[in-house]
Amino acid sequence: MTIVISGFFTKKYAYTCEINFRLVTLNMKTIADLKIGERGIIVNFTDEGLSLKLLEMGCLPGTQVTMTHIAPFGDPIAVKVSGYVLSMRKDEAATIIVA
């Protein structure tokens, strides 16, 4: 629940699609929710356009990710995935569901 609230207030001009996808991911944990050092296994993607790029970069369902860095203003973030460090923005990370 906290995801929706914080997401909604920080983005004053939240796009409708953004709200929708926040609702979809309401009860699901995404990479954006990981704390530094925390691990998760990629389960699925919520954004088809981004998923191709993420797949090409080695973010496959079933792969383990570890949150390694969060940039000074909380965004972007960097994760360790299949042996290297990948950086992405927080809203991009929020499209990757982890378990």
What are the Cα distances from residue 12, in Å, to 6, 16, 80, 88? 11, 12, 31, 21
Candidate list 83, 94, 97, 99; residue touching other proteins; CB under 8 A: 83
Contacts (CB under 8 A) with other proteins, residues 20-59: 48-58
Nearer to other proteins, 14 or 71 (CB): 71
Q: 4, 94, 3, 98: which is closest to 50 by C-alpha?
A: 94
Q: How far is the CB of 1 from other proteins (least distance, A)?
A: 25
**CA dist., res. 59 & res. 52, Å (int):** 10
1, with CB counted inside 10 A (0-12, 13-18, 19+), is exposed
Name the one range near other proteins by CB under 8 A: 2-10, 22-30, 63-71.
63-71
| Choice from 3, 75, 94, 98 touching other proteins (CB under 8 A) | 75
User: Is 9 or 27 the residue whose CB approaches other proteins more closely?
Assistant: 9
Please give the residue ranges that form the binding site for other proteins (CB under 8 A): 48-58, 60, 66, 68-69, 71-76, 78, 80, 82-89, 92
